[in-house]
Amino acid sequence: MLKNKVAVVTGGTRGIGYATVKKFLENGAAVVLFGSRQETVDKALASLKAENPAWEVYGAWPDLADAEAVAGEVGKVKETLGKIDILVNNAGMSDSTPIDNYTAQQFAKVMQLNVSAMMNCIMPTVKIMKEQGGGCILNTSSMVSICGQPSGVAYPTSKSAVNGLTWSLARELGPSRIRVNAVAPGITKTDMVAALPKEMIDPLINAIPLRRVGEPEDIANAFLFLASDMASYVTGEILSVDGAMRT
């Protein structure tokens, strides 16, 4: 589905990001995964190469909060692979801090990684996509961007901002043939969720109409569809992948 495409995936060393990188590689793309540290990037690359040595996968670890560093790495992708067809903005952090314990620094930290860093990736990539005549930008939102959560207000606030960014850029960049969409995962079996005890997981599952926690591959499949030509007339959408758990 992505034969001869070039993709950049941030937060690509584990969880949803890693599953998305693997799904894209399985479908013929060349992928550059961004991670936070060289050791995690190297580990992810080694795992992927062990699975299929023929996969064209590379790695980098820019500080996503540093706009110049990100622009430099994005430029290297263009120089090395000739183009960037797909950008998946998946890097981010969750938060459950009660309002009484918030500091301005904590709130700003969440917003910086979940929103500002996303824009740091988008801006240089858009220039490349405009020059080449089009592309696809995909953002990781969240179920809580739609319904909120009981504590940790910075996280749903940041993901609501991701939705606004997605809708607005879709309208602005449509004439340049750049599609912009987001995926809003529900509870997904990342490392953090997998480590929760059964007595915490069971009530969550009972609140999901499909009666199961999502797998990273479920989210990766949504990204694959939106990145592919099957979604060539889809832009400005927030695709919920949450088993209908939206309250």
Which pLDDT does position 161 carry in this prediction? 98
Which pLDDT does position 137 carry in this prediction? 99
Which pLDDT does position 135 carry in this prediction? 98
Which pLDDT does position 242 carry in this prediction? 93
In order of their start, the domains of the chain are 6-188+215-241 (3.40.50.720)
Whole-prediction pTM = 0.95
Which pLDDT does position 200 carry in this prediction? 72
Which pLDDT does position 195 carry in this prediction? 64
Which pLDDT does position 199 carry in this prediction? 80
What is the DSSP track for 118-149? HHHHHHHHHHHHHHHT-EEEEEE--THHHH--
Which pLDDT does position 26 carry in this prediction? 98
Residues of the chain with pLDDT under 50: none
Distance (Å, whole) CA 233 – CA 218? 22
Q: How far is CA 66 from CA 33, 71, 145, 155, in A?
A: 17, 9, 25, 21
Distance (Å, whole) CA 221 – CA 110? 26
pLDDT, the chain, mean: 95
Distance (Å, whole) CA 195 – CA 244? 23
The contacts of residue 193 (CB under 8 Å, 6+ apart) are 187, 201, 213
Which pLDDT does position 247 carry in this prediction? 56
What's the DSSP call for residue 215? P
Distance (Å, whole) CA 127 – CA 124? 5
Which pLDDT does position 196 carry in this prediction? 64
Which pLDDT does position 43 carry in this prediction? 98
**Catalytic residue chosen out of the listed positions 58, 102, 155, 233:** 155
| Cross-strand bridge partners of residue 107 | none
Residue listed under structure tokens 């089009």 = 134
| Interaxial angle between packed helices 15-26 and 216-227, expressed in degrees from 0 to 180 and rounded to the nearest 10 | 50
pLDDT by residue (tens digit) across 178-218? Answer: 999 999 999 998 876 776 677 878 888 888 999 998 999 99
Which pLDDT does position 215 carry in this prediction? 94
Which pLDDT does position 10 carry in this prediction? 98
Distance (Å, whole) CA 76 – CA 28? 21
Residue 58 falls in the annotated catalytic set = no
Token digits for 139?
Answer: 């953002």
Which pLDDT does position 37 carry in this prediction? 97
